Structure formats: structure tokens, C-alpha cells
């Protein structure tokens, strides 16, 4: 299987093919892969198409794979007529990460070059569950998920601890950034070369490419329903942490989607907000613990890809060696920080006005979206039942859980400190068992 598009690192070097970028995850020079060129689509041709067809045709130029989807986003009215609510909690683990994990599992099993390989993933809540589900019980695949002990919800933890078989969960006494740091260190460790490590975080290009599809689908949906004129530009408001989701919107824009602006809504981890304001990038160290836990990222990996798209270069530690075109970035991107207090108030207000429950990540997005003009689409990234303790505290009621969340922890996680040496020993002992 092959396609003509090559993949390049954000730090330069020789281009490679999709399979190589897929299984490496991170480039050998520490950069992140992106397509060397992007196809350009006339999205009007998809008006009337279902999600599966759009995914198949939009992702086809990147790899000769069938993007098979039996679920799609759901749309609901917001509290303003010029905004639409896009629910991305319709997949098998009730998270937007299901859309990317489905494609990645399909790609890795179809293009594998060795009989066995090992998937490493750091998660702040939803990525781990989606990846574990997508690869669960697949022959020749070992999955190791690292999650921060005190920064996932009880529902997310139960889901992460429910798989077993070829999936091992590591409960890390640290923060998401610690989990991500250990995963990145493992990829650069020659002592682990025999494990055929690959990443399922959004550092992997196969995680971010399929996230472009639902932005196209949102435009198609609104065109079909008469809410948009042909070619009319949309604003997207994206709850943001590691920036993979927002990067999907940027990819869609560069492939022909009419996008007015991408609003990136952060919690108190506001490194990108300050970067766009001042031009100076300083990670939030340590990252701040907020109610929107999946966004507790002090140093978003995918900022390096944004910097690359706008003509700059960023090293893995966040050092910018060549500045991007900040004026161009500011014309197409905006970043805002939302406090926990604002998030709570948004959840309450939305429920009072609509009778519907939104979870804290979507609420961060809506707190930003409702202050701006549309036409626009705000993303809800996970099912509210993943945060039932939070909803109970804020609204005094518990959301009904979908079947995918009615699971029990059956496999105790491996508890480790935020220490790479400890993790490495545990990983080797389990991978070679």
C-alpha cells in the first residue's frame, strides 16, 4: 500500500513515507511529522455525503487505506442561533479521540512491518481509553497506557483499567506532562529498539490527520440544512490541551475548508494564549490542575506543528529557533484562557437555557464561543457522564451514562512514580513476558 505524499519532520531532514512516519511516531531528530504537501478539496462536492464517505475520500491521498466509520458526530442547537454544537462523544468510548483511534488502529494493523509492535500512549483522560479500545485483543499488538494518578476522572480511570489482555495501564504519581515526557524519552532510548515502539498520542501524524474530517463534515451538515451558503466561512471553537484537535481544523482549512477563524479555548494552562499575545513561548511548568483535566497540558506538543505551518521552527523543549509569522497566525487563530469558575458558570447557564448537560471541556469551549460572532461550530469532546462527580457537584444531578461507560475496573494498573528508569524496567519486563 502506498501513496505519493511524503512526510517531513518539523525539524527538517529527509522525507519518508506514511508507514515509516506512522510507526516511528516521532521523527529521529525529535521533530513531528507532517505531510510535505496537502491535497486541496472542493468541499462542495461532499454536500449530501455521509461521514464514512467523506473520511474515505479526504484521507485517501495520505495512505491507501479504507477509513471505516460506523459512527459520526451529532449536531445540536447551541444557545445562540449563529452557533451549532458538534457532539464528538458518539464513538465506542464516548470521546472525540475515537475518530482518530479507529483510523490509527486500521492503519497500523494493515501496514505493520513486523509481526509484533508496541503502542505507547500518554493520556490525560480520553486518549488512552480510545486507543486501548481500538487495539484491544488485536494479535501482535501490545498497548501501554500512562495516565496521571490524580488528574483523570473516576469514570475515565475505570475505563482505562477495564481492558486487560494486550493492554497494560500505568498509573503515574505525577502529571500528564510527566507521562508525555516518559513516552518521548522511550522513543529516543536505543535500549528499547527491539520493542518496535510507536506512539498513539497526537505526536503521531496518523492521530491528527483523521481529526480534520469532522470539521469538513460540520460544514457539509450545515450546508445540507441550509444554514450556510456555498463557500461561506465557519468559525470553529476548539477546547484545547495538546492542540491535536485544533490542528485538525488547521489541516482542514489548508485542504480547502472555508474557515474564518479557529478559536482555541484553554483552561488555566495558558502557554499558547501568552505566546500569541507576546510572541514569547514559555511552557507552564508544572502544568496546572483544572477541572477540564484532559486539557491540563503545560507544553502542548502540537504547537511545534503550528509553528512549522506558519514558517517557524520549534525544538521539542519549546525553544523557538526560527520565529513563525505571528501576524499570519493571529489572523487565523485566537487563543483564550477560561477559569474553573467560568467553566462552572457556563455549565449551569447552558443547562438552564437548554435543559442539556455539557461537560467541563465543552464548557471551556462554549465560554469562549458565546462571546464571538458566528456562523460557528463549538466542539463537545466527551460525554458528560465521564465527569459525573463534577456534574453532580455543579448541577446537583448525574448524567445518564451510555453503555460504553458502564464498565468496571477489572485489571489493577501498574503504579509507578514519575521516574523514567522505573517505567523502563516495568515496560521491558511486561513487553518481554
253 and 348 both lie in a single domain: yes
Q: Which cell is 310 given? A: 506558519
Q: For residue 87, tell me if it sits in a domain.
A: yes
d(CA 176, CA 187): 17
User: In this predicted structure, what is the pLDDT of residue 219?
Assistant: 98
User: In this predicted structure, what is the pLDDT of residue 3?
Assistant: 66
74 and 213 both lie in a single domain: yes
Q: Which cell is 366 given? A: 462554549
249 and 377 both lie in a single domain: yes
Strand-pair partners of 32: 26
Using the Cα atoms of residue 71, residue 76, residue 81 and residue 83 in order, give the sign of their dihedral: negative
State the total domains in the chain. 2
d(CA 161, CA 168): 8
212 and 90 both lie in a single domain: yes
Which residues form the domain of 414? 98-203+408-431
193 and 214 both lie in a single domain: no
d(CA 89, CA 323): 36
User: In this predicted structure, what is the pLDDT of residue 64?
Assistant: 84
d(CA 147, CA 246): 22
144 and 249 both lie in a single domain: no
358 and 226 both lie in a single domain: yes
User: In this predicted structure, what is the pLDDT of residue 201?
Assistant: 80
User: In this predicted structure, what is the pLDDT of residue 180?
Assistant: 85
Strands 33-35 and 7-9: antiparallel
Q: For residue 346, tell me if it sits in a domain.
A: yes
119 and 238 both lie in a single domain: no
Strand-pair partners of 417: 173
What CATH number corresponds to the domain at position 277?
3.40.50.1100
pTM for the full predicted model: 0.92
Tens-digit pLDDT string for the chain (433 aa): 446 899 999 999 999 999 999 988 889 899 999 999 999 999 999 999 999 999 999 999 999 888 789 999 999 999 999 999 999 999 999 999 999 999 999 999 899 878 889 999 998 778 889 999 999 999 999 999 999 998 888 888 989 999 999 999 999 999 988 998 999 899 889 999 899 998 888 889 999 999 999 999 999 999 999 999 999 999 999 999 999 999 999 999 999 999 999 999 999 999 999 999 999 999 999 899 999 988 999 999 999 999 999 999 999 999 999 999 999 999 999 999 999 999 999 999 999 999 999 999 999 999 999 999 889 999 999 999 999 999 999 999 999 998 888 887 789 999 999 999 999 999 999 887 6
Q: For residue 296, tell me if it sits in a domain.
A: yes
Q: Whole-angstrom distance between the N-terminal and C-terminal Cα of the chain?
A: 32
DSSP classification of residue 307:
H
Q: Which cell is 10 given? A: 518539523
Conformational region of residue 236, where left means phi above 0, alpha means psi within -120 to 50, and beta covers everything else? beta
213 and 362 both lie in a single domain: yes
290 and 157 both lie in a single domain: no
Q: For residue 8, tell me if it sits in a domain.
A: no
User: In this predicted structure, what is the pLDDT of residue 199?
Assistant: 82
Amino acid at each position: 500500500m502506498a501513496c505519493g505524499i511524503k512526510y517531513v519532520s518539523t525539524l527538517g531532514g529527509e522525507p519518508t513515507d506514511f508507514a515509516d512516519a506512522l510507526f516511528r511516531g516521532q521523527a529521529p531528530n525529535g521533530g513531528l511529522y507532517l505531510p510535505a504537501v496537502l491535497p486541496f478539496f472542493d468541499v462542495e462536492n461532499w454536500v449530501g455525503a455521509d461521514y464514512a464517505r467523506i473520511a474515505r475520500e479526504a484521507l485517501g491521498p495520505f495512505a491507501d487505506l479504507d477509513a471505516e466509520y460506523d459512527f459520526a458526530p451529532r449536531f445540536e442547537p447551541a444557545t445562540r442561533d449563529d452557533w451549532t454544537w458538534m457532539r464528538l462523544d458518539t464513538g465506542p468510548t464516548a470521546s472525540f479521540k475515537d475518530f482518530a483511534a479507529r483510523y490509527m488502529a486500521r492503519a497500523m494493523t494493515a501496514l505493520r512491518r513486523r509481526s509484533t509492535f508496541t503502542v505507547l500512549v500518554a493520556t490525560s483522560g480520553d486518549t488512552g481509553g480510545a486507543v486501548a479500545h481500538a487495539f484491544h485483543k488485536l494479535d501482535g499488538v501490545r498497548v501501554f497506557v500512562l495516565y496521571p494518578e490524580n488528574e483523570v476522572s473516576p469514570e475515565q480511570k475505570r475505563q482505562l483499567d477495564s481492558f486487560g489482555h494486550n493492554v497494560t495501564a500505568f498509573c503515574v504519581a505525577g502529571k500528564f506532562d510527566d507521562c508525555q515526557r516518559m513516552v518521548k524519552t522511550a522513543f529516543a532510548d536505543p535500549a528499547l529498539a527491539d520493542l518496535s515502539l510507536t506512539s498513539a498520542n497526537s505526536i503521531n501524524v496518523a492521530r491528527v490527520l483523521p481529526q480534520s474530517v469532522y470539521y469538513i463534515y460540520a460544514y457539509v451538515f450545515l450546508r445540507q440544512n441550509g444554514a450556510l451558503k456555498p463557500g461561506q466561512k465557519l468559525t470553529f471553537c476548539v477546547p484545547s490541551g495538546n492542540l491535536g484537535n485544533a490542528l485538525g481544523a488547521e489541516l482542514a482549512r489548508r485542504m480547502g475548508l472555508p474557515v474564518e477563524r479557529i478559536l482555541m479555548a484553554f483552561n488555566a494552562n495558558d502557554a499558547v494564549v501568552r505566546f500569541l499575545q507576546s510572541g514569547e513561548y514559555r511552557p507552564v511548568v508544572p502544568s496546572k490542575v483544572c477541572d477540564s483535566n484532559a486539557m491540563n497540558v503545560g507544553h502542548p506538543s502540537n504547537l511545534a506543528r503550528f509553528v512549522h505551518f506558519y514558517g517557524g521552527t520549534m525544538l521539542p523543549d519549546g525553544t523557538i529557533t526560527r520565529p513563525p509569522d505571528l501576524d499570519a497566525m493571529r489572523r487565523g487563530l485566537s487563543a483564550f484562557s477560561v477559569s474553573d469558575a467560568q467553566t462552572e458558570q457556563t455549565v449551569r447557564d447552558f443547562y438552564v437555557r437548554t435543559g442539556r448537560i455539557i461537560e467541563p471541556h465543552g464548557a471551556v469551549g462554549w465560554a469562549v464561543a458565546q462571546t464571538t460572532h458566528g456562523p460557528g461550530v463549538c466542539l463537545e469532546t466527551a460525554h458528560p457522564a465521564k465527569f459525573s462527580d463534577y456534574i453532580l457537584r455543579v448541577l446537583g444531578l448525574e448524567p445518564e451514562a451510555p453503555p460504553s461507560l458502564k464498565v468496571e475496573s477489572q485489571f489493577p494498573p501498574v503504579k509507578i512514580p514519575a521516574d523514567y528508569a522505573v517505567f523502563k524496567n516495568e515496560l521491558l519486563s511486561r513487553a518481554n513476558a
